[in-house]
Amino acid sequence: MVELTKQSEQILARLSELRTMDAPTHGGHVLSYVYDSGLAELDELAAQAIRTMQPVNGLDPTTFPSVAAMERDVIGFARRILHGDATSGAGATADTTIVGTVTSGGTESCLLAVKTARDLWRANGGTGTPRLLAPVTVHAAFHKAAHYFGLDLELVPVDTDGQLDANELILRFGADVALVVVSAPSYPFANLDPVEAVATAASIAGLSCHVDACIGGWVLPWWGSDLPAWDFAIAGVTSISADLHKFGYAPKGVSVLLQRGRDRQRHQYFATKRWPGYPVVNPTMLGSKSAGALAAGWAIIQRLGDDGFAALSQSCKRSTEALVTAADAIEGLRIVGSPIGPLFAIATDESAPLTSRVDPHHLADRMRQLGWLVQQQPGLTQSDGVRLQHTAHLTVTPVTESVLTDLIGALVQAADDVRGEPAVDPVRLLPALPELPAAILAGEQVLTSEQAFEILASLGIGADGADALPEHLAPLLAVMEALPAPLTERLLVELLARLAEPQH
């Protein structure tokens, strides 16, 4: 161990001080973003694995063969748990062999699934703008992928429980569809899409079908045998994304993308020799990259094995069932749909009388005051006019079990505290906004950063860098929901961009 100088010690002290501003990453009080196994040894193992790989450049596994060795192990494990072994390896064809890549996260896995499918579609003669077809509940990463890679995103409406009717999606199939995406499960409501019906129909139509198991991929394999098939056991599933930095309990920066068929997967790569530098060949979006999170994910897989993952998954399942039962029993609330996996969403029970309804965003604001962070999801009106209610989202992790009684108590108390308080009516808040020209409201006029900042300020946001958001988020979310999407999106950009600006 190298001794640190006084100056370095002070820098690290300052870093620790900065970290005290953050939401608590351990202990189960933050019910999104962080995935706490509750096992301190696992975190230490990950930290030492990262440390070991710190100087390595993951760009080139020929210079650093350890990177390829870890990747083979991780992909091999993922392929087995996702039922990809039966059609892979000895005796299998190049078309059916499941191969894969470790990426930097769920978004990169999703982006690459779309890029691969688009390039395969083009190679097969597709011309013009391809379509990306998915239910409304598909993760926003696919909106981003369509935007980055030039596909038309067609979102298929779901019912008020977030459930997709497979036929609604299948009847939109066409030769211009480069990729169909379903989720196992979806992030907003944890609904397990009808993967078998969709993937089988896609296969008959000759279409690629991705299963986004970013959140479910490292927990559903040990959830129980009563789940419908959703992985490579279904022949029509052509790719799957699964995040190690979620229920693989690895630090942020690691996910896997598995693809059916070597020839399909080669469209994921980028290679060029047409510059005066080293020959470039990249399976993923980055060039030089850290191998730290890969090493951490790899080490955790070795440490947990099937039995370890099974135990943690079953802990999540027990906690989720207890929470869903408790939340469903709270007067004025309802669970959205039939969630599968360690996450769920809570909405107002609109069949309850007004005085006993509980608004989920008021609930979340109250929960925050009580020391628990649950995520507020805005409502959404779909293209068919069917409205999805605004909700509160909870992701359950193994650590949840150690705080379960307190968490249920907080839910019950928060609901009691806000019961009968009506949802924020954005119309009453909009007058606080500066006089906005109609073209800006409609999102047709490009806002300058000053105009955007002024609108944010009128909403009470962003005045002070450290404390960018007001204590109660419900009014803000209601306004954001009511404003046109392009305007809201521009304001979000301004909010985040200002956070990173040096303060003189």
Binding site residues, ligand PLP, CB under 6 A? 105-107, 110, 139, 141, 183, 187, 212, 214-215, 243
Q: Which is nearer to ligand PLP, 184 or 477 (CB)?
A: 184
- Tokens coding 144: 């981003």
- Per DSSP, the chain holds a count of helices (H) and strands (E) of 16, 15
Dihedral sign, CA of 473, 474, 479, 480? positive
Distance between CA atoms of 77 and 34, rounded to whole angstroms? 23
Residue 248 CB, shortest distance to ligand PLP, in Å, is 11
Q: How far is the CB of 33 from ligand PLP (least distance, A)?
A: 9
Q: Of the two residues 117 and 414, which places its CB atom closer to ligand PLP in the complex?
A: 117
The least distance separating ligand PLP from the CB of residue 223, rounded to whole angstroms, comes to 15
Which amino acid makes up residue 22? D
Return the bridge partners of 241, or none: 212, 257
Q: How far is the CB of 268 from ligand PLP (least distance, A)?
A: 17
Give the residue closest to ligand PLP by C-beta.
Answer: 106
- The structure tokens 């060795």 sit at 69
Comparing CB distances to ligand PLP, the nearer of 139 and 264 is 139
Do 144 and 111 meet the contact criterion of CB atoms below 8 Å apart?
yes
CB 256 within 8 A of CB 70: no
Q: How far is CA 103 from CA 130, 206, 279, 413, in A?
A: 24, 27, 21, 41
- End-to-end distance of the chain based on CA atoms, in angstroms? 38
**Taking the complex as a whole, how short is the minimal distance between the CB of residue 470 and ligand PLP, in angstroms?**
25
Cα(383)–Cα(106) distance, integer angstroms:
27
Q: Least distance to ligand PLP from the beta carbon of 332, Å? A: 28
* Least separation in angstroms between CB 199 and ligand PLP: 17
250 versus 459: smaller Cβ distance to ligand PLP: 250
Q: Which CB atom, from 139 or from 289, has the smaller least distance to ligand PLP?
A: 139
Q: Please state the closest distance from residue 74 (CB atom) to ligand PLP, in A.
A: 16
Structure tokens at 92: 């299998």
**Mapped to the 3 state alphabet, what secondary structure does 33-45 carry?**
CCCCCCCHHHHHH
Q: Is 375 helix (H, G, I), strand (E, B) or coil?
A: strand
Beta carbon of residue 342, minimum distance to ligand PLP (angstroms, whole number): 11
What are the helix (H) ranges across 206-332?
A: 262-265, 292-329
Q: Which residues contact 6 (CB under 8 A, 6 or more apart)?
A: none
Instruction: Give the CB-side neighbour count of residue 169, counting CA atoms within 13 A.
Output: 36
Compute the least distance from the CB of residue 229 to ligand PLP, in Å. Answer: 18
Nearer to ligand PLP, 240 or 423 (CB): 240
Nearer to ligand PLP, 108 or 349 (CB): 108
Crossing angle for the helix pair 404-418 and 292-329, to the nearest 10 degrees: 50
Q: What share of the chain is helix, strand, coil (3-state, %, to 5)?
A: 45, 15, 45
Angle at 456 between CA 455 and CA 458, to 5 degrees: 65
